[in-house]
Structure formats: structure tokens, C-alpha cells
């Protein structure tokens, strides 16, 4: 019995030596400093360093082999794919932690508006003045005074949902570093982009909001200018003619950056009228003191001169939230997670002359 055990021990040693020789041959080529280290060589080094533990390993024991030293793990964050994975036989990938998302929009339309909340109702109700007849006049003592009629209109706008969902695997949610953080950042940005489109272009047919450029919510620019500066200045004048205050101009970035490049008819020197102020240290163009805001939410070629403070409110019925659902449809059977992003908002616009909307017919 003892002789058989000895023979088995010798056979195990021979097999182990053959395995060691095979791994050694595969890693004969020395790894130079600064070159990628393959999984095979690190595994071989780890096994050789712990031969005694392997020889005395018992059932239930566990041996951990670190494929990277703490210094190498720290340096891995600075490695790039092309340098560290030049061949197809590399088994371990070092990736930057987290997920790099697409860029966020620099300015969302809600940032230009006064906010507010509403009661637990499906509509936001308000009363606005439409027309006024009569006016105060000089009156002699004892004479009949002039009567004034203030015509008021009760109006309402519905609170509408803006929402979407995504289904992802439970493994991805649990295993991908930063996935939850990514979803909590990316999904609200997508929601805000949909919201931007509704606030500007919603057609008012439920479940759409009625946006600024929807019929009845704006007045078309009536100026005759063809240069960007002229058209905007004329629209500021038009808005102030309704006793509104111009406190913001919205344009697309492509139109914003054309303005400082206008060179006039001789095409020799950059030319702006004195009423235009370009404060490049703040990155803001002001026309007649009114700031020009740029956002990719705006339609290229279109400008909106508005009384953003008084002309409309962004009303929140249900604030935006991201929620995770494990039991939805066949999620349990497919090991999926449903992630939902949604909000419920209303957008009252208080008249048709708080916003002047025009199209650049520019020579810039």
C-alpha cells in the first residue's frame, strides 16, 4: 500500500514538472520594463511563488494569486488599449473605471424660466387679463366718472408626463463599475432634452405640451433687417412696444458664433454696432444689454427674443426621478431590470406677445 502511494507521488511530481516546463517555454521571452505583461506569465510566476501552498493544499482551502502588484494596479488606470493589448492572446483587459457618457447639453430651456409647483391636480389653472376698455380721464367735480372694464380669462394647461424606460440585464447592473451612476446621470439628461423640445416646439396636442413656438404663444418678428444684429435689435424694440421686457435671446450655437464674425459689406474688418457688447471673459454676447443664450435645443437659423421672467412658468407636478424595477413583465424569468425615468410638468404661457420669434436672413 505504501509502495503504491510512493508511485503516485512520483507520478504527480513528474506531471507537475511537465506542466511547469510547458508554461516556462510559453514564457521564455522576457518581458521588458514598460511592456505589457501577459496573463500566462503572471499566472506562472504566482504559481511558482506559492509551490509549498499548492503541495499542502487541502479540501476547502483557497489560494489567491494577484496578477498585478498594487503599483501595477495603480498604473493600470493610465494605460491605454493600444499600448497594453497589441496582440490577440492577451486575456486580461484594464479599463478606465465607470462609463464615459456622451456630452451634456450646456443650457436647458428650464434654466431660462421661472419655476413653480402645483397642487394635486391634473391641470394648472390661472387667470389672465385679455383686453381693457375705458381709461381714467380728467373729471369735473360732480360729473360722472369714466368706467373701466377689465376683461379677464380663466385658462388652464394640463400637466403632462415625459417618460421613458430601459431594460438591462441584472448582471450588467451588478457587475459593470459605475453602471448605476451612469444611468442616474444619462437618463435625466435624455429626459431634459425631450423636455427642451417640448418647451420650445410642443404642439399642444396631448400628451404634448404647448411650446413657445406653438401657434398663439408668440408673435412673429416684423423687422426688415437682414443682418443678425439688426434683426435682433428690431425684435427687442418690437417686444418693448408691447410693454414687455426683453431679458433673454435664445439662438443655436452655430448662429451665436457667426455674430462676432460679421465683417460688414467691405469684408475687411469685423464690425458690430455700438449697442452690441461682446464680453468674452464671461463668454456672453449682450445686445442692448440683453444677454444672448446659446443652446443646441434651439432651431438653427431661428431666434427667440423673450420676456422669460414674466411670459411663462415651468411648473412641476411630479419632479424627475429614476426608478429601478426588478419585477416587471418577464424580468424575473430573464434576469432583467427595468429602469424608468419620468416627470410630470405643465407649461403655462401667459400671452402671445411675451416672445418674438424670427428667422435669420443673415449676411454674416
Provide the angle, in degrees to the nearest 10, between the axes of the packed helices 2-26 and 39-49. 140
Assess whether 196 and 255 both reside in one domain.
yes
Flag whether 204 is in a domain: yes
Both 210 and 332 in one domain: the answer is: yes
Whether residues 71 and 159 fall in one domain: no
Number of residues that make up the chain: 364
Q: Is residue 19 part of a domain?
A: no
* CB 256 within 8 Å of CB 262: no
In a domain, 141, yes or no: no
Counted domains in the chain: 2
Q: Residue 324 in 3-state DSSP? A: strand
User: Considering the domain boundaries, does residue 162 fall inside one?
Assistant: yes
With respect to residue 254, please indicate whether it lies within any of the assigned structural domains.
Answer: yes
Is the residue at 209 inside a domain? yes
Distance (Å, whole) CA 244 – CA 159: 27
207 prior amide bond cis, ω within 30: yes
Give the DSSP letter of residue 259: G
* Residues 231 and 158 reside in one and the same domain: yes
| Lookup: cell for 79 | 494605460
User: What's the confidence (pLDDT) of residue 318?
Assistant: 93
Q: Do 126 and 93 share a structural domain? A: no
Query: What does the alpha-carbon distance between residue 183 and residue 325 come to, in Å, rounded to a whole number?
Result: 14
Residue 314's closest CA among 163, 108, 127, 19? 108
Distance CA 174, CA 112 (A): 38
Return the closest-CA partner of residue 124 out of 344, 356, 352.
Answer: 344
Q: Confirm whether 54 is domain-assigned.
A: no
Please answer whether residues 303 and 253 qualify as being in contact, where contact means their C-beta atoms are separated by less than 8 angstroms. no
Looking at the structure, tell me whether residues 92 and 167 fall in a common domain.
no
Do 341 and 299 fall into the same domain? yes
Cα 352 → chain centroid? 30
| CATH value at residue 272 | 3.30.2400.10
Integer CA distances (angstroms), 263 to 101, 225, 260, 364, in order:
39, 16, 9, 7
Sequence-distant (6+) residues with CB within 8 A of 254 are 300
Q: Alpha helix (H) ranges present in the chain?
A: 2-26, 39-49, 51-55, 70-76, 81-84, 170-175, 179-201, 228-240, 253-256, 331-334
- Regarding whether 116 and 87 lie in a shared domain, the answer is no
> Is 217 found in the same domain as 168?
yes
Are the C-beta atoms of 99 and 178 separated by less than 8 Å?
Answer: yes
CA dist., res. 114 & res. 314, Å (int): 6
User: Does 130 lie in the same domain as 88?
Assistant: no
What are the grid coordinates assigned to 5, written together? 502511494
Containing domain of residue 82, as a range? 65-97
Residues 118/317, Cβ–Cβ less than 8 Å: yes
Q: What is the CA radius of gyration of the chain?
A: 35
Same structural domain for residues 117 and 78?
Answer: no
pLDDT (tens digit, 0 to 9) for every residue of the chain, 364 residues total?
A: 555 555 556 655 665 565 566 555 555 544 444 444 444 455 456 555 655 654 555 554 444 545 445 554 444 444 443 444 444 344 444 555 678 889 999 999 999 999 999 989 999 999 988 888 888 989 888 899 998 888 888 999 999 999 999 999 988 888 777 888 889 889 999 999 999 999 999 999 999 999 999 999 999 999 888 889 899 999 999 999 999 999 999 999 999 998 888 777 776 777 777 778 777 667 789 999 999 999 999 999 999 999 999 999 999 999 999 999 988 999 999 999 999 999 999 999 999 999 999 999 854 4
Residue 84 lies in a domain: yes
Same domain, 129 and 265: yes
Q: Distance (Å, rounded) from C-alpha 286 to C-alpha 279?
A: 8
Amino acid at each position: 500500500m505504501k509502495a503504491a502511494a510512493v508511485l503516485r507521488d512520483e507520478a504527480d511530481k513528474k506531471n507537475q514538472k511537465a506542466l511547469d516546463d510547458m508554461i516556462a517555454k510559453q514564457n521564455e521571452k522576457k518581458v521588458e520594463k514598460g511592456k505589457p505583461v501577459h496573463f500566462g506569465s503572471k499566472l506562472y510566476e504566482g504559481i511558482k511563488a506559492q509551490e509549498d501552498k499548492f503541495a499542502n493544499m487541502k479540501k476547502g482551502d483557497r489560494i489567491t494569486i494577484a496578477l498585478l502588484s498594487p503599483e501595477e494596479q495603480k498604473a493600470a488606470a493610465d494605460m491605454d488599449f493600444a499600448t497594453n493589448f497589441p496582440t490577440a492572446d492577451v486575456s486580461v483587459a484594464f479599463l478606465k473605471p465607470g462609463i464615459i457618457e456622451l456630452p451634456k447639453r450646456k443650457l436647458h430651456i428650464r434654466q431660462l424660466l421661472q419655476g413653480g409647483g402645483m397642487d394635486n391636480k391634473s391641470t394648472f389653472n390661472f387667470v389672465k387679463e385679455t383686453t381693457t376698455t375705458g381709461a381714467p380721464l380728467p373729471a369735473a367735480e360732480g360729473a360722472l366718472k369714466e368706467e373701466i372694464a377689465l376683461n379677464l380669462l380663466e385658462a388652464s394647461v394640463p400637466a403632462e408626463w415625459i417618460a421613458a424606460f430601459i431594460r438591462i440585464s441584472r448582471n450588467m447592473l451588478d457587475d459593470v463599475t459605475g453602471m448605476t451612476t451612469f444611468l442616474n446621470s444619462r437618463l435625466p439628461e435624455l429626459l431634459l432634452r425631450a423636455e427642451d423640445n417640448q418647451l420650445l416646439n410642443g404642439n399642444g396636442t396631448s400628451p404634448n405640451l404647448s411650446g413657445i413656438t406653438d401657434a398663439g404663444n408668440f408673435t412673429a418678428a416684423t423687422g426688415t433687417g437682414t443682418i443678425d444684429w439688426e434683426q435682433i435689435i428690431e425684435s427687442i424694440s418690437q417686444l418693448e412696444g408691447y410693454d414687455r421686457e426683453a431679458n433673454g435671446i435664445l439662438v443655436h450655437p452655430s448662429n451665436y458664433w457667426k455674430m462676432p464674425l460679421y465683417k460688414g459689406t467691405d469684408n475687411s474688418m469685423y464690425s458690430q454696432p455700438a449697442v452690441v457688447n461682446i464680453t468674452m471673459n464671461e463668454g456672453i454676447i449682450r445686445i442692448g444689454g440683453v444677454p444672448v443664450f446659446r443652446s443646441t435645443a434651439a432651431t438653427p437659423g431661428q431666434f427667440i427674443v423673450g420676456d422669460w421672467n414674466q411670459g411663462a412658468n415651468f411648473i412641476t407636478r411630479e419632479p424627475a426621478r429614476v426608478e429601478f424595477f426588478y419585477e416587471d413583465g418577464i424580468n424575473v424569468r430573464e434576469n432583467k431590470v427595468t429602469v424608468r425615468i419620468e416627470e410630470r410638468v405643465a407649461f403655462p404661457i401667459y400671452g402671445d406677445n411675451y416672445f418674438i420669434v424670427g428667422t435669420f436672413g443673415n449676411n454674416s
